[in-house]
Structure 1
Amino acid sequence: MLGLLQGFAAGLMLSISFLDLAHNAINSIGFLKGNLWFFAGVIFFAIIANFIPEPTLGPISDAKSKKKNGDGGGKDTMKKHRRQVLFSGIITAIGISLHNFPEGMAVFLGSVKGLRVGLNLALAIALHNIPEGVAVALPVYFATQSKWQAFKLATLSGLAEPLGVIIVAYLFPSSLSPEILEGLLGSVGGVMAFLTLHEMLPLAFDYAGQKQAVKAVFLGMAFMSAR
Structure 2
Amino acid sequence: MIQWIGQFNPIQQALMATMFTWGVTALGASLVFFFKTINKIVLNGMLGFAAGVMIAASFWSLLAPAIDMAEELGQIPFATVAIGFLIGGAFLYAVDKVLPHLHLGLSTADAEGIKTNWQRSVLLVLAITLHNIPEGLAVGVAFGAVASGLGTSATLAGAVALAIGIGLQNFPEGAAVSIPLRREGFSRRKAFLYGQASGIVEPIAGVIGAYTVVKMQHLLPYALAFAAGAMIYVVVEELIPEAQREVGGSKTDIATIGCMIGFTVMMVLDVALG
TM-score scaled by length of structure 2 = 0.60
Q: Which residue, out of 117, 120, 133, partners 1:88?
A: 120
| CA shift for structure 1 position 99 | 5.2
How many corresponding residue pairs? 196
Aligned to 1:215: 257
Assess, with a 3 A threshold, how the Cα gap between structure 1 residues 128 and 197 changes in structure 2: closer, same or farther.
farther
Q: How does 1:133-148 map to 2 (within 5 A)?
A: 133-139=178-184, 141=186, 146-148=187-189
CA distances 1:51-101 after superposition (whole Å, capped 9, x unpaired): 2323223459xxxxxxxxxxxxxxxxxxxxxxxxx9312332345445544
Q: Which residue, out of 89, 93, 104, partners 1:56?
A: 104
State the percentage of identical aligned residues. Answer: 23
Larger Rg: 1
Structure 1 unpaired stretches of 5+: 61-85
Assess, with a 3 A threshold, how the Cα gap between structure 1 residues 176 and 36 changes in structure 2: closer, same or farther.
same
| CA shift for structure 1 position 127 | 3.1
1:15 and 1:195 map into 2 onto residues whose CA distance is: 14
Structure 2 unpaired stretches of 5+: 1-41, 71-76, 109-117, 145-153, 270-274
Assess, with a 3 A threshold, how the Cα gap between structure 1 residues 87 and 167 changes in structure 2: closer, same or farther.
same
Aligned to 2:172: 127
2:60 and 2:214 map into 1 onto residues whose CA distance is: 26
Aligned to 2:29: none
Q: Which residue, out of 221, 228, 237, partners 1:189?
A: 228
1:196 and 1:213 map into 2 onto residues whose CA distance is: 12
Q: Which residue, out of 16, 26, 31, partners 2:67?
A: 26
TM-score scaled by length of structure 1 = 0.71
Deviates more, 1:193-202 or 1:110-119: 110-119
**2:85 corresponds to 1:43:** no
1:167 and 1:154 map into 2 onto residues whose CA distance is: 23
Matched-pair contact (CA < 8 Å) for 2:137–2:205:
yes
| CA shift for structure 1 position 116 | 1.4
Assess, with a 3 A threshold, how the Cα gap between structure 1 residues 154 and 120 changes in structure 2: closer, same or farther.
closer
Matched-pair contact (CA < 8 Å) for 1:8–1:220:
yes
What root-mean-square deviation, in Å, do the aligned CA atoms of Structure 1 and Structure 2 show?
2.9
| CA shift for structure 1 position 222 | 2.0
Aligned to 1:201: 240
Q: Secondary structure at the match of 2:102?
A: coil
1:31 and 1:97 map into 2 onto residues whose CA distance is: 30
